[in-house]
Amino acid sequence: MAFCNQDSTFLPLDHEIIFENNEIFVSVRFVLTVLKAKLGREAEAGIVTIETLPENDFKVTSPAIEAWGNIPHKFVQHSVGGKNISIPINWTGAPVSTKSFAVVIYDAHVQSEYWVHWAVININAESSELAENAAASLSDYQQIKPYYGMQPAELTGDHAYQVTVYALDIETIEIPHQVVFSEDLAPFLELHTIASGTLVSFFQS
pLDDT by position in tens, the chain (length 205): 444 444 545 555 555 555 566 665 667 888 898 889 998 877 666 677 889 998 889 999 999 999 999 999 999 999 999 999 999 999 999 999 999 999 999 998 877 888 999 999 999 999 999 999 999 999 888 999 999 999 988 877 889 999 999 999 999 999 988 899 988 999 999 999 999 999 999 998 7
Quick one: DSSP state of residue 177?
Answer: S
Residue 128 backbone dihedrals phi, psi, to 5 degrees: -140, 15
pLDDT of 119: 97
Backbone φ, ψ for residue 32 (5° rounding)? -65, -40
pLDDT of residue 18: 56
Residue (of 60, 88, 70, 63) closest to 167 by Cα position = 60
What pLDDT was estimated at residue 136?
96
Q: Identify the H or E element spanning 195.
A: strand 193-203
pTM of the predicted model, to two decimals? 0.86
DSSP 184: G
Type and span of the H or E element at 189: helix 186-192
* Cβ 178 vs Cβ 184: under 8 Å: yes
Question: Quick one: which of 172, 160, 166 has its CA closest to 190?
Answer: 166
pLDDT of residue 8: 44
The whole-number pLDDT of residue 110 equals: 77
Task: Give the Å distances, CA to CA, from 90 to 53, 57, 93, 167.
Answer: 17, 13, 11, 13
Residue 16: the pLDDT is 55
